[in-house]
Structure 1
Amino acid sequence: MSLTPLLSPSAPDPVRDWAESGVVALTGRPDGPPVIPPGRAATVARAMSSWISDVSALGGRHLDVDGARLLSERAAFTGRERRGEVSVGGSCRLLPTADGWAAVSCARPDDPALLGALVSEAVDEDDPWPAVADWIRTRTGAELAARAELLGVAAGPVSRVSTPPPVPVPLHPRPVDGLLVVDFSSLWAGPLCAHLLGLAGARVVKIETPDRPDGARRGNPDFYRLLHGGHESVVLDPTTAGGRRALASLVDAADIVIEASRPRALTRFGLDADVSVARGATWVSITAAGRSSDRIGFGDDLAAAAGLVARDAAGTPLFVGDALADPLTGVTAAALAMSAPADGSGHMWDLSMSDLVASTLTDHPVPQTFQRDGQWVVETSSDVVPVAEPRPRVPAGRVANSGADTAAVLASLGIAVP
């Protein structure tokens, strides 16, 4: 099995993959036409879901998931639409800098205060954007990037690397039926990875801490159920000796670990990824810019800063889809986790969301959409296809309340309850 044919330059038509993904309907100005994005992210997502389906079949499971459609799936639940220079979810903006454009997020409760620190003045907590826009307009993208990383602000200049990194490719196919997945992640990318592994037959245990439950629990309940239905929920306190021991024992028992934290955060919990990999586990690390970076980022700002932006007729950058770096990373992470070295040894997948988006970019020209019989369509290399709307899958399985399965999970693995 190999992804090479699907990821080659002459592989399936990227324009068709974009049109069928639902992403195009989310890209562009609300009062303008949908816009075809650059690159081949939808094609890569389809290749990854094809790998997942094929490996699942080796384990006796039939899994029919279209990776391209996963990219737009959240908007199918929320009903949100394209908003041009404002992200679909509304928490990120594309703003002009002194030498280009930048993407800036304000998604967390404490982000207004951080944006105030960024611009060195108090900002309106309900609407920080005027002050932020005024400050950024007189700064270069490099100045913004340095200050944002220092302060932990999710922001960066819109740029393109001259030589995109290669798309990560899975190793030897490894069915995951019956394997234990310990998932420390939250929001979208990591949970999507865990969800796909669960569909492929893995046992998924979601880990949260008492003071930091998954913020996605406050989001759309049906979308949360889609990603977490059927998973077990464990809450442990890593600030206590007993909690740290239980966390370490869970990781020791895991076949696959998913996390989206900077390494030093896990070290404080007494968890060592290198030790887990050495004993044979697959470790999936999802970060904004790799384990060696302190950069903070979310799906919208990371995708835009990596260069994945569409353009209107005036050349103004527009957001592509809904937090696209998240689902692209999630489906890729699942495909990688469903592989292993041929000798069965452990493996570390250090996934930089920014690099992953950049790896899908190309310089191929993109066509414009047009209307036919009242519907937006686009011409591909073979025919004219309609621009699909985001489409949800049907959520299935019980969603556990935070920590509902702690005692049962620990008992099933022979771990003492702290």
Structure 2
Amino acid sequence: MENGTLRGWMEPVEPFLGPLHDVAKAFTGLTGVPVDLPAALFLRARLTGLPLPGRVSAGGSCHLLETADGWAAVNLARPDDLAAVPALVALLGGTGTEEPHEAARRAAAADVAAHAQLLGIAAAAHGSARGTRAPVRAERGGAASPRGPAGLRIVDFSALWAGPLCARLLGAAGARVVKVESTTRPDGARRGSPAFYRWLHDGHESLVLDFASGAPAEVVAEADIVIEASRPRALRRLGIHAEEFLAARPGRVWLSITGYGRDEDRIAFGDDAAVAGGLTGLDRAGDPVFLGDALADPVTGVFAAHAVARSLADGGGELLSLSLAACAAALADSR
């Protein structure tokens, strides 16, 4: 990455990166694989020519709205989100001619986020996830002998950025990664930068399956590690149960990445999750602005890779639950 481009993205974020540097070094200590944090955090922005963020995220979909008592992030990442904006304004007591930022000023940040989430829009009150949970939660099952990722089979059901980055790092440590996609719902990252997608999935096998056929459960049965970013009930409908996977063979690892934890139904993307965690900068007026590009995504990917490597070194047999918002909060809380 060019020095000028790197400097512009790194300078606002660097004060928060102490914990992430520690996690990356620990991953290297366990696997021998160095983590290129600038590439992990900012390669997508460089490849796509994204502008530095402000009140609007680098990708352009997430907006910081001033509220009656603070700030909230509302992420209009999908066509359905944009279509739901009039309903959001109405829920906030606005008129048909008002913009969301106008209606939000009369409401509490928590209410703005709650109304948006009710409509299926990823949203969060600023700092609402700070102090609510650890970045990594582990439920231990049957452990085996300590080992590293080399030679293990990873089945990766995740999409977009956090899970695939974790898989990339573990693949660099010698794991065999099989990326699994649905015939009806391919990875949304395919619609973005082809070069970035290739970088994330370099050297990985690809399987596109009919999820209604029972084939995903058969693929999981052959795995040592599963990476997923789905609500638990969605996988159970496919006959895939994390607890059964772990019980079937000692030493396996199941990694679950969600916005706010496996027990939460709220959705999240990288920018709004970063705001939930309080991982934001300040403008000259002292008001929050976005940092980086969907920053909670790559931050969580690095945390996740270390969590899996650490679990394997301890014998595995764990269900690891990572939250985008909690990983962002871990960096915000370090200042």
For 1:159 and 1:21, the matched residues in 2 are separated by: 31
* Residue 73 (structure 2) aligned to one of 103, 107, 117: 103
Whether the aligned pair in 1 keeps the contact of 2:53 and 2:292 (CA below 8 Å) is: no
Which residue number in structure 1 is paired with residue 298 of structure 2? 327
1:92 maps onto 2:62 in alignment: yes
**SS state of the match for residue 83, structure 1?**
coil
* Residue 182 (structure 1) aligned to one of 152, 155, 176: 155
* Residue 114 (structure 1) aligned to one of 84, 98, 106: 84
Whether the aligned pair in 1 keeps the contact of 2:149 and 2:170 (CA below 8 Å) is: yes
Which residue number in structure 1 is paired with residue 180 of structure 2? 207
1:53 maps onto 2:28 in alignment: yes
Match of 1:325, as an amino acid?
A
Cα offsets for 1:196-250 (capped at 9, x unmatched): 11111111111111110001111111100000121111111122xxx21x21121
1:222 maps onto 2:191 in alignment: no
For 1:37 and 1:178, the matched residues in 2 are separated by: 35
Cα offsets for 1:314-357 (capped at 9, x unmatched): 11111011111000000111111113266735101111111111
- Relative to the length of structure 1, the TM-score reads 0.71
**SS state of the match for residue 338, structure 1?**
helix
Q: Judging changes above 3 Å, is the alpha-carbon distance between structure 1 residues 173 and 110 closer, same or farther for their aligned structure 2 residues?
A: farther
Which residue number in structure 1 is paired with residue 217 of structure 2? 248
Whether the aligned pair in 1 keeps the contact of 2:182 and 2:211 (CA below 8 Å) is: yes
In the TM superposition, what is the alpha-carbon distance from 1:85 to its structure 2 partner?
0.7
Which residue number in structure 2 is paired with residue 74 of structure 1? 44
Which residue number in structure 2 is paired with residue 312 of structure 1? 283
In the TM superposition, what is the alpha-carbon distance from 1:108 to its structure 2 partner?
1.5
**SS state of the match for residue 332, structure 2?**
coil
Whether the aligned pair in 2 keeps the contact of 1:160 and 1:307 (CA below 8 Å) is: yes
In the TM superposition, what is the alpha-carbon distance from 1:138 to its structure 2 partner?
1.7
Unaligned runs of 5+ in 1: 1-19, 28-33, 58-62, 122-127, 365-418
Q: Judging changes above 3 Å, is the alpha-carbon distance between structure 1 residues 236 and 129 closer, same or farther for their aligned structure 2 residues?
A: farther
For 2:229 and 2:99, the matched residues in 1 are separated by: 31
For 1:23 and 1:84, the matched residues in 2 are separated by: 17
Cα offsets for 1:111-164 (capped at 9, x unmatched): 11233332239xxxxxx9962222222211121232233222101111256646
Cα offsets for 1:59-101 (capped at 9, x unmatched): xxxx232335522221121121213111111111111111111
**SS state of the match for residue 266, structure 1?**
helix
Match of 2:235, as an amino acid?
L
For 2:101 and 2:46, the matched residues in 1 are separated by: 30
For 1:137 and 1:303, the matched residues in 2 are separated by: 21
**SS state of the match for residue 155, structure 2?**
strand
1:150 maps onto 2:121 in alignment: no
Matched residue count: 322
Whether the aligned pair in 1 keeps the contact of 2:72 and 2:113 (CA below 8 Å) is: no
Which residue number in structure 2 is paired with residue 269 of structure 1? 238
**Bigger-Rg structure (1/2):** 1
For 2:155 and 2:40, the matched residues in 1 are separated by: 22
Which residue number in structure 1 is paired with residue 272 of structure 2? 301
Task: Please provide the CA RMSD for this pair.
Answer: 2.8
Match of 2:8, as an amino acid?
A
Cα offsets for 1:47-66 (capped at 9, x unmatched): 22222222223xxxxx2323
For 1:133 and 1:37, the matched residues in 2 are separated by: 30
Match of 1:308, as an amino acid?
L
Match of 2:9, as an amino acid?
L
1:44 maps onto 2:19 in alignment: yes
For 1:225 and 1:165, the matched residues in 2 are separated by: 33
Cα offsets for 1:240-279 (capped at 9, x unmatched): xxx21x2112111111100011111111111101111223
For 2:235 and 2:19, the matched residues in 1 are separated by: 30
1:283 maps onto 2:254 in alignment: yes
Report percent identity of matched pairs: 48
Q: Judging changes above 3 Å, is the alpha-carbon distance between structure 1 residues 22 and 176 closer, same or farther for their aligned structure 2 residues?
A: farther
Unaligned runs of 5+ in 2: none
Which residue number in structure 1 is paired with residue 8 of structure 2? 25
**SS state of the match for residue 98, structure 1?**
coil
Q: Judging changes above 3 Å, is the alpha-carbon distance between structure 1 residues 46 and 233 closer, same or farther for their aligned structure 2 residues?
A: same
For 2:182 and 2:230, the matched residues in 1 are separated by: 13
Whether the aligned pair in 2 keeps the contact of 1:22 and 1:71 (CA below 8 Å) is: no
Q: Judging changes above 3 Å, is the alpha-carbon distance between structure 1 residues 215 and 163 closer, same or farther for their aligned structure 2 residues?
A: closer
- Relative to the length of structure 2, the TM-score reads 0.87
Match of 2:47, as an amino acid?
F
Which residue number in structure 2 is paired with residue 237 of structure 1? 210
